[in-house]
Amino acid sequence: MRWLALFAIAALAVLPWVIGGRYVLHMSIMIAIMVTLALGMNLMLQIGQLSMAHSAFMGIGAYASALLTMKLGMSVLLTLPLSALLSAMTAALLGPVFLRIKGVYFVLLTFAFGQIVNLVFQEWTDLFGGNSGLHGIPKLSAFGHRLTDPAGIYSVALALALASFALVRAILRSDIGAMLRSLEADEPLSRSLGANAMAWRLAVFVLTAAMAGAAGSLYAHVIGFLSPAAFGFGLSVDLVVMNVIGGAASAWGPLLGALLIVPLPELLRGAKEYQLLSYGLVLIVFLLFFRDGLVGMVTALARRRAARASSPDAPTAPARADAEKRAA
Amino acid sequence: MISLVEQIVVNGVMAGLVYTLMALGFTLVFGIMRMVNFAHGELYMVGAFAALTLHGTLGWGYLPSVLVATGVAALFGAVIERLLYRPFVGRELGGMIMSLAVAITLQALAVIAFGPAEQSLARPLTGAVRVHEAVISLDRAMVAACAVVALVAFQLFLRHTRLGLAMQAVAQDREAASLMGVEAGAIYVRSFAIASALAGLAGALMAPIYTVAPTMGELPMLKAFVVVILGGLGSVPGAMIGGLLIGLSESVFATLFDTTLALIASFVIVLSVIVVKPSGLWSRAAR
Amino acid sequence: MSLKVKPILALLATSLSMSIAAAQTLKIGVIAPLTGGGAPWGLAAAEGPRILAEEINAKGGLAVGAKKYKVEVIAYDDQYKAADAVAAYNRLVNQDGVKHMIVLGSAATMALKQQIEDDKVVTLTASYTGKALDKNSHYLFRLYSPPDDYIGSFVSWMKDNVKGKRIVIVNPNDETGWDQTQVATRVFKANGFEVLGSELFERAQKDFQPMLTKIIAQKPDIIELGGTSPATAGLVIRQARELGYDKLFSKTGGAGPKDIVASAGAKAAEGTINMLYADPANEGYKRLAAAYRKARGQEPNEIIVSFYDGANVLLNAIQKADTVDDTAKVAAAFSKALPMKSVQGDELTLGGKASYGVDAQVMSVNYIGTIRNGEPVVLGKTK
């Protein structure tokens, strides 16, 4: 099953090059960028914190990378990791204060932080260009060679997405992942067993912020134009939707979610007003009836088929308790 | 001659009263159901569009339109609670995400039904009156008056009716209340209806003041959110005092600097409050 | 053959030949906010060209060289957002094979500026920003005169026709707004007005009492509303009247008198000097408005004339260039297509070299109007 899934992903990853054409490649680049962000949000959800701050981290990375290339003439090779670092440092600074807050309050806290960052982008017009944004951001270039071919840019985006996916998946399946889940499930207990809760949660916060910053930097150089509107509440909502629809229990969820949600506006170009409506309705349906998202649906199907194959009256394994905690 | 200080105060109080109306519903829902309802702004929008349809398109009188619009919002709220929010009792994050979905859906429905453009509604009163060295526009004065009436009525309701007391009981301790025979479910739907009614009332009252559009609920929602965090999620007196405070602070910042800075200031306040005393400045100790 | 079959065959034959003749389609793309706050202008951007296309197709199509082309307008929504505009552009150019397009917003225009030159797509923009056109603009044109170009004659009209010289300038807090404030300040001063100050507000803002309190304290004779959206301008006007302001308003930027009156009330808006793209009494405009009403069931935003004219200039350039595929020739043909007549009967010329280093702007005529009893009335024209 797992190999099938990995093979499918590999095929999907290669598909844009096969089909070719700027339209498909541009869409694939955006999907790859959103996959990175959605994975970051997923990791945060795994430690039980719904963060609305990561759109701000993406924005910080994007503006930093744009300004470094435009004002200081640095190469994107340098500014991408630098921007990721900047977002990570911001998270490292704020983390100890923010992460003490849990549950609903953490969401509201990160929401407020995200709004402040967005408003600063709007207000500090000398540096960030305000509502009109920054334009003329240089495209990706390495060693003096300008990368204008979408196929080439896609390879960079894909690399970022794959790296993020591998990283998050590895974390979740490792001892670290088990520790994170135990923290989320029963913090006092795991702390009594020696787990340093704050250190781990801070590590996740910083890592996901770095991912968001890197994605932001890439976004800036792909689109060539930045405005605060791209990094607001709407982005956070989109990331949440991707995780809900894809399924928040594993790294596959945000991957599937991004694959579905990002092309949606294009597919529904005909009926623009109905696009928003279908968005909301599908979300409601998934929240009510498919709490484990698409991944949950697929694994439930696979389990049922396996159960039926092994024995006609084998009980269907109710492993939903674990996944329920995710969605809660 | 207009005194800048007096005008700032007047503007701040008038804005603050509307924020309080919005904040009250928001905090009520959280206090009783432990639910952060991101769709609260959309119920404000529902009230506004109902008023637009009744008073603007159908030509009903203004006050009847406002009353019926409030009822429409209450109805929407009751249905949403019963069908969509009830499954998330006890699951705060899930409920929050569901409220996002509801917000998206309601906005989309409004765009389909009324179109995306801003629409204007004829105002019931025109003109302004001078009070000492400040000017109060009559239509906003009426909004303020209605808001005060609603707030007083709400307080009376909370203190002196069976439902009001039951709501307070459920907010304090759901299990104890059910042992006493208070059925949580019935309380939830009615509280939500009342909260939605308050938001819808605010929307209907404000409809002629500015313009009516599907996205109009976003900013009031943000303001309500700021007020409620300041006053404490679940605290009614917190919402009232917080509303006036935020109204005044915004008025000061907006007049002396600009509105973006005012909004930044509000959110910095929110940030500080959550970090220092998450339960807000007026609530009792966290439960 | 029976009597019935012959006419049918004849009909088939003629329709076949007609469809072969008109089988060639010329696709014109439009990127504009079709939903959201900018929708009234965006829909005008989509419908103006569409109405023109219908008129041309009804007469058998656009004659380019020896062939006739059916004109098809493909409009995509960008919701005033850059990323959406880029996606729409990619779709138009890659999927739909479009080589000529009209772009409305400044964000979209700035985001696509380089790409348009790289792809050699002939583009007309309605963006006001001064940065849109420069020496590198070979394929980008602006389809009308922005405030930078018409405000000179607008303000000198005001100098001769308006009492009172103390003025405060109000604009939205974005690039268009800053541009307009800068230009307006310069031009008003040059015409002998006393510019007391300027204010910026957020586009989504509804409550202007703090800002107006500050402004009214300075005792201006005129409050200039620049590029404020008409509905918002109406709110500003109404709130200012309630705060006791009883003097004049002017609005030299984007028009929309009906929206101003709707949100301000006819009484409050009375006498407001504003810029109009169209004279409501003009036959050409009335024809467009009727066609729009038939298609959409509402009154159009009068900027529709600018998009109709812009599309007309574009199609004319294509005809003069004798090709729909060689966009370099089409771009060069703009100087041959102009001067030509606008739908309202005014003269459109090509200009802009003095301001932008390149002749890439369709210089249009705007109307100076006032609001009387809730209706726009034309008092003069800009040069």
* pLDDT tens profile C156-208: 999 998 888 999 999 988 777 888 898 899 999 999 999 999 998 887 677 78
Q: Give the total residue count for chain B.
A: 287
Q: Please tell me if residue C351 touches chain B, with a CB cutoff of 8 Å.
A: no
Q: Identify from A119, A237, A282 which residue to disrupt to test chain B contact, counting B C-beta atoms within 10 A and taking the largest count.
A: A119
Contact C101, C92 (CB under 8 A): yes
Alpha carbon of residue C196 to chain centroid = 30
The pLDDT score that the predictor gives to residue C170 is 94
- Residue contact A237–B100, C-beta within 8 A: yes
| Token pair for B175 | 């299990």
- Residue contact B137–C239, C-beta within 8 A: yes
- Strand C361-363: give its sheet, edge to edge: C62-64, C67-77, C25-32, C100-103, C122-125, C140-142, C361-363, C347-351, C340-341
- Residue-wise pLDDT for A238-258, tens only, equals 899 899 989 888 888 999 999
**Shortest Cα distance, chain B CAs vs residue A239, angstroms:** 11
**A contact residues 253-292, partner B, Cβ 8 Å cutoff:** 273-274, 276-277, 279-281, 283-284, 287-288, 291
- Residue contact A98–B275, C-beta within 8 A: yes
- Residue contact A223–C95, C-beta within 8 A: no
- Residue contact A287–B97, C-beta within 8 A: yes
CATH no., domain C5-144+283-351: 3.40.50.2300
Measured between CB atoms, which of C210, C244, C265 is closest to B126? C265
Q: Please tell me if residue A95 touches chain C, with a CB cutoff of 8 Å.
A: no
Q: Please tell me if residue C200 touches chain A, with a CB cutoff of 8 Å.
A: no
Considering only residues A103 and A50, tell me which one the structure prediction assigns the higher pLDDT: A50
Q: Which stretches does DSSP call E strand in A166-280?
A: 225-226
The pLDDT score that the predictor gives to residue A190 is 63
Distance CA C162, CA C271 (A): 11
Looking at residues B192-197, what average pLDDT do you find?
94
Q: What sign for the dihedral angle of Cα A200, A205, A206, A212?
A: positive
Q: Please tell me if residue B248 touches chain C, with a CB cutoff of 8 Å.
A: no
**Shortest Cα distance, chain A CAs vs residue B133, angstroms:** 32
Q: Please tell me if residue C95 touches chain A, with a CB cutoff of 8 Å.
A: yes
Q: What is the pTM of this model?
A: 0.82
Give the pLDDT band (50/70/90) at residue A324.
Answer: very low
All chains having 3 or more CB pairs closer than 8 angstroms to chain C:
A, B
Using the predicted structure, report yes or no on whether residue B152 has a pLDDT greater than 50. yes
The residues spanned by each domain of chain A are: 2-327
Distance CA A77, CA A75 (A): 5
Looking at residues A69-95, what average pLDDT do you find?
91
Residues of B in contact with C213 (CB under 8 A): 2, 4, 7-8, 11, 255
Q: Please tell me if residue C173 touches chain A, with a CB cutoff of 8 Å.
A: yes
- Residue-wise pLDDT for A116-174, tens only, equals 999 999 888 888 887 777 877 888 776 666 777 788 889 889 999 999 999 998 888 87
**A contact residues 172-231, partner B, Cβ 8 Å cutoff:** none
The pLDDT score that the predictor gives to residue B12 is 87
**Shortest Cα distance, chain A CAs vs residue C76, angstroms:** 8
Q: Please tell me if residue C231 touches chain B, with a CB cutoff of 8 Å.
A: yes
The nearest alpha carbon in chain C to A119 belongs to: C202
Measured between CB atoms, which of B11, B118, B123 is closest to C209? B11
Measured between CB atoms, which of A22, A122, A227 is closest to C107? A227
Give the pLDDT band (50/70/90) at residue B42.
Answer: very high
Q: Please tell me if residue B141 touches chain C, with a CB cutoff of 8 Å.
A: no
Contact B83, B145 (CB under 8 A): no
Using the predicted structure, report yes or no on whether residue C153 has a pLDDT greater than 80. yes
- Residue-wise pLDDT for B222-235, tens only, equals 888 888 888 887 78
The pLDDT score that the predictor gives to residue C69 is 92
Closest CA to C82 of A219, A57, A233: A219
**A contact residues 137-176, partner C, Cβ 8 Å cutoff:** 148
Q: How many CB pairs under 8 A join B and C?
A: 83
The pLDDT score that the predictor gives to residue A271 is 65
Residue A205 parent element (H or E): helix A197-223
- Residue contact B267–A104, C-beta within 8 A: no
Residues of A in contact with B87 (CB under 8 A): 288
Give the pLDDT band (50/70/90) at residue C5.
Answer: low
Residues of C in contact with A262 (CB under 8 A): none
Distance CA A199, CA A176 (A): 12
Using the predicted structure, report yes or no on whether residue A62 has a pLDDT greater than 50. yes
- Residue contact B254–C210, C-beta within 8 A: yes
Distance CA B189, CA B79 (A): 8
Give the pLDDT band (50/70/90) at residue A322.
Answer: very low
Residues of B in contact with A291 (CB under 8 A): 94
| Token pair for C249 | 């308003």
Distance CA C46, CA A137 (A): 29
Q: Residue B280 burial (CB < 10 Å; 0-12/13-18/19+)?
A: buried
- Give me the phi and psi of C277, to 5 degrees please: -75, -30
Measured between CB atoms, which of B11, B120, B219 is closest to C210? B11
Residue A195 makes CB contacts below 8 A (sequence gap 6+) with A179, A182, A183
Q: Please tell me if residue B7 touches chain C, with a CB cutoff of 8 Å.
A: yes
Q: Please tell me if residue B97 touches chain C, with a CB cutoff of 8 Å.
A: no
Identity of the amino acid at B160: H
**Shortest Cα distance, chain B CAs vs residue C311, angstroms:** 25
Measured between CB atoms, which of A22, A122, A133 is closest to C94? A22
Looking at residues C324-345, what average pLDDT do you find?
90
**Shortest Cα distance, chain C CAs vs residue B234, angstroms:** 28
Give the pLDDT band (50/70/90) at residue B80.
Answer: very high
- Residue-wise pLDDT for C37-87, tens only, equals 677 789 899 999 999 999 999 998 999 988 899 999 999 988 877 778 888
- Residue contact C231–B120, C-beta within 8 A: yes
Q: Please tell me if residue A133 touches chain C, with a CB cutoff of 8 Å.
A: yes
Using the predicted structure, report yes or no on whether residue B188 has a pLDDT greater than 80. yes
Using the predicted structure, report yes or no on whether residue C369 has a pLDDT greater than 80. yes
- Residue-wise pLDDT for A182-229, tens only, equals 766 766 666 666 556 788 889 999 999 999 999 999 999 988 888 888
Q: How many CB pairs under 8 A join A and B?
A: 108
Measured between CB atoms, which of B4, B111, B138 is closest to C213? B4
**Shortest Cα distance, chain A CAs vs residue C194, angstroms:** 27
The pLDDT score that the predictor gives to residue A321 is 45
Three-state secondary structure call for residue A312: coil
Contact residues of B toward A, CB < 8 A: 34, 36, 84, 87, 91-94, 96-98, 100-109, 111-112, 116, 222, 225, 229, 233, 258, 260-261, 263-264, 267-268, 270-271, 274-275, 278
- Residue-wise pLDDT for B86-119, tens only, equals 888 878 888 889 999 999 999 989 988 887 777 8
The pLDDT score that the predictor gives to residue C140 is 94
- Residue contact B97–A244, C-beta within 8 A: yes
Using the predicted structure, report yes or no on whether residue A328 has a pLDDT greater than 60. no
Q: Please tell me if residue C104 touches chain B, with a CB cutoff of 8 Å.
A: no
Looking at residues C225-241, what average pLDDT do you find?
88
Q: Please tell me if residue B9 touches chain C, with a CB cutoff of 8 Å.
A: no
Residues of C in contact with B213 (CB under 8 A): 37
The nearest alpha carbon in chain B to C40 belongs to: B117
Using the predicted structure, report yes or no on whether residue B257 has a pLDDT greater than 50. yes
Superfamily of domain C147-276+368-381: Response regulator (3.40.50.2300)
Three-state secondary structure call for residue A224: coil
- Give me the phi and psi of B173, to 5 degrees please: -160, 105
Domain with CATH 3.40.50.2300 in chain C: 5-144+283-351, 147-276+368-381
